[in-house]
Amino acid sequence: MLDREFEKTLAFDLRGSWQARALVAATGPARMVMLSVLAHTLEQAVVTLCFAAFADFDGSLPLPALTTAAKIDKTGSVVGDVCDRWGAIHRDEVLFRTEIEMRDAFRRLADRLKLSDSDRIEMFKYVQRWVVADRRLDPTFDPQDPDAKRLTTH
């Protein structure tokens, strides 16, 4: 068991981190997304982070919550599995309509928190890791196929 003074010092240090500040500053669905981003990257420390960030945190997952990391569906929307208030899981719910909408939402959060450049870079690395699959890509796509040039989107 940790010394009580050490726990208080650790909680105070964590409370000042960009991760805890982002959790507190995010509201509505953005909090659910931020919690999922942090849980995906800091899976062992996210509960401690929540205890430090929220005085009323009781150790349970606040609902609604994301139960998976994000994926990009065939239309380009960022989706995830959401557990609603009643415990029902909804597969592939749209979180952001486009990658640009997601990027802009996290930029606005970083601006609101007045993050340093290094903290911004770290936050966006977390977000990049959080998107675990891009379903727009066809694994059977052959670049040598004569139709390959016709099918490119960029």
Task: Compute the half-sphere exposure of residue 34: CA atoms within 13 Å on the CB side of its CA.
Answer: 24
pLDDT at residue number 15: 86
pLDDT of 148 over the 70 cut:
no
pLDDT at residue number 1: 47
Structure tokens at 40: 């995906």
pLDDT at residue number 147: 64
pLDDT at residue number 143: 66
Beta strand segments in the chain, E: 65-66, 70-72, 78-83, 89-96, 131-134
More confident residue, 1 or 139: 139
In terms of Cβ atoms closer than 10 Å to its own Cβ (0-12, 13-18, 19+), residue 60 is exposed
Nearest CA to 64 out of 39, 90, 37 is that of 90
Nearest CA to 83 out of 35, 124, 129, 127 is that of 35
pLDDT at residue number 61: 82
d(CA 104, CA 86): 30
Evaluated on CA atoms 147, 148, 151, 154, the torsion sign reads negative
pTM of the predicted model as reported, rounded to 2 decimal places: 0.79
Nearest CA to 127 out of 19, 48, 50, 52 is that of 19
Condensed to tens digits (0 to 9), the pLDDT of residues 78-133 reads: 999 999 999 999 999 999 999 999 999 999 999 999 999 999 999 999 999 999 99
d(CA 95, CA 31): 12
Helices and strands (DSSP H and E) totals, the chain:
7, 5
